[in-house]
Amino acid sequence: MRQSQLFGKTVREAPKDEISQNAILLSRAGYIDKLMAGVYSYLPLGLKVLSKIKNIVRSEMDAIGGQEILMPALHPREVWDETKRWESLKEIMFQFKGRGGKDLGLGATHEEIVVDIARKRISSYRDLPVYLYQIQDKFRNEPRAKSGLLRGREFSMKDLYSFNQNQHDLEVFYSQATQAYGKIFARCGLQAIVTEASGGAFTSDYSHEFQVATPYGEDEIVVCPAGDFVQNTEICQLKTGDRCPHCGQAVKLVQSIEVGNIFKLGAKYSQDMGLTFADENGKKQEVIMGCYGIGPSRVMGAVVEVYHDDKGIIWPASLAPYQAHLLLLDQQKSALTDQVYQELTQAGCEVLYDDRQESAGIKLNDADLIGLPVKLIIGAKTGEHELEYQLRDNSDQGKLKFDRVADFLNQLYKK
Ligand SMILES: [Zn+2]
């Protein structure tokens, strides 16, 4: 991609109405555009990152037997009345009148909708297990939407729903899903800590959250250094220095961002909505459910909170919108740099090529702000048939012959 053609310019000043680093950096670097508090558009660079996160999520959900569907965002009241959640969620759910005074809502979560689909199609033990997921925008009327992509009123969510014959099968799948979540976050460059938490407003009595420790997090968790105890402070009274209830070591309080949440729903929704199956003896049983959420847009925000410095974003290779940022710093060499760009593109490398008529200082600053993992620089001082490379995380720099660059990028991205 030639940067002279790229839609979305970088901006020097931080937006006045943003306080979180993810919103400030993603806006300045041209990844997102704010429409109102908690509601953002994704510009070309931002959509590439979001798509990479969604594809990682998809591949790990498919690997544990998930089947992707897409449910509507617009819901009639009736299906929500079956679980009495039209009333109980009215603070957080966008609810309004459609034509003829009909009550409608925007999906804040999708248990009711997926159970309605399932009860029309599941009737026998032979129909189970089933694992359905979607990646879709959710809508929540958040009172505080000041954290950029970390807390949206409209935000991307992957929600998977498991349908099993009994509690034991649910437990087995729940632990598979926990491991799949660990893989997803690791592939996104995040170290997520599995944390015990309350069921929250949406679903069950108990749940597990996946928390990423960062000083900018909105959540607070209690962590035992031995790794045998982690709880959200919502359900835990312990303070830094108190004894771990399992091993007696001193625990500490850590600021964190929740990036995923999984729940054992049991038979709650099946009871309320009549989702049953005939077991092997022909006896009617309730389907046992779980639900498993990850917010791809929130993961994007969390990655920026964890990976940035005072110059800009530092993307992990797996999520960067392009593999390399090719910088032409000497206009005398523009024909040569065009050729390098074409060769790399033909070799299958994703390259953002800064071909603009701007000063070297502006180009280098923009490259740091945008945060691709490696800069490939062709300037007045670079020798013949070679360029200079610099890794964005400052871990390496040096010179490369042109015919070595594609291999170098492939190696870098294999790690
Ligand atoms: Zn402990």
- Ligand 1 centroid to residue 31 C-alpha, Å: 41
- Give the model's pLDDT for residue 300: 98
For 305-317, the pLDDT digits (tens) are 999 999 999 999 9
pLDDT band at 14 (very low <50, low <70, confident <90, very high): confident
Whether residue 339 is predicted with pLDDT greater than 70 in this model: the reply is: yes
Whether residue 202 is predicted with pLDDT greater than 60 in this model: the reply is: no
Whether residue 205 is predicted with pLDDT greater than 70 in this model: the reply is: no
- Give the model's pLDDT for residue 145: 83
For 82-119, the pLDDT digits (tens) are 999 999 999 999 999 999 999 999 999 999 999 999 99
Structural domains of the chain sorted by starting position, each given as residue range(s) with its CATH number in brackets: 21-309 (3.30.930.10), 322-414 (3.40.50.800)
- Ligand 1 centroid to residue 226 C-alpha, Å: 5
- Ligand 1 centroid to residue 194 C-alpha, Å: 14
Whether residue 200 is predicted with pLDDT greater than 70 in this model: the reply is: no
For 227-256, the pLDDT digits (tens) are 999 999 989 999 999 999 999 999 999 999
- Ligand 1 centroid to residue 262 C-alpha, Å: 23
- Ligand 1 centroid to residue 287 C-alpha, Å: 36
- Give the model's pLDDT for residue 144: 82
- Give the model's pLDDT for residue 383: 87
- Ligand 1 centroid to residue 246 C-alpha, Å: 5
- Ligand 1 centroid to residue 122 C-alpha, Å: 43
- Ligand 1 centroid to residue 243 C-alpha, Å: 8
Identify residues whose C-beta is under 5 A from ligand 1, the ion: 224, 226, 228-229, 244, 246-247, 249
- Give the model's pLDDT for residue 79: 98
More confident residue, 252 or 15: 252
pLDDT band at 204 (very low <50, low <70, confident <90, very high): low
Whether residue 203 is predicted with pLDDT greater than 70 in this model: the reply is: no
- Ligand 1 centroid to residue 187 C-alpha, Å: 27
- Give the model's pLDDT for residue 387: 96
- Give the model's pLDDT for residue 91: 95
- Give the model's pLDDT for residue 69: 98
For 58-80, the pLDDT digits (tens) are 999 999 999 999 999 999 999 99
- Say what percent of the chain tops pLDDT 90: 90
For the chain, what is the HEC assignment? CECCCCCCCCCCCCCCCCCCHHHHHHHHCCCEEEEECCEEEECHHHHHHHHHHHHHHHHHHHHCCCEECCCCCEEEHHHHHCCCHHHHCCCCCCEEECHHHCEEEECCCCHHHHHHHHHCCCCEHHHCCEEEEEEEEEECCCCCCCCHHHCCCEEEEEEEEEEECCHHHHHHHHHHHHHHHHHHHHHCCCCEEEEEEECCCCCCCEEEEEEEECCCCCEEEEECCCCCCEEECCCCCCCCCCECCCCCCECEEEEEEEEEEEEEEECHHHHHHCCEEECCCCCEEECEEEEEEECHHHHHHHHHHHCEECCEECCCCCCCCCCEEEEECCHHHHHHHHHHHHHHHHCCCCEEEECCCCCHHHHHHHHHHHCCCEEEEECCCCCCCEEEEEECCCCCEEEEEHHHHHHHHHHHHHC
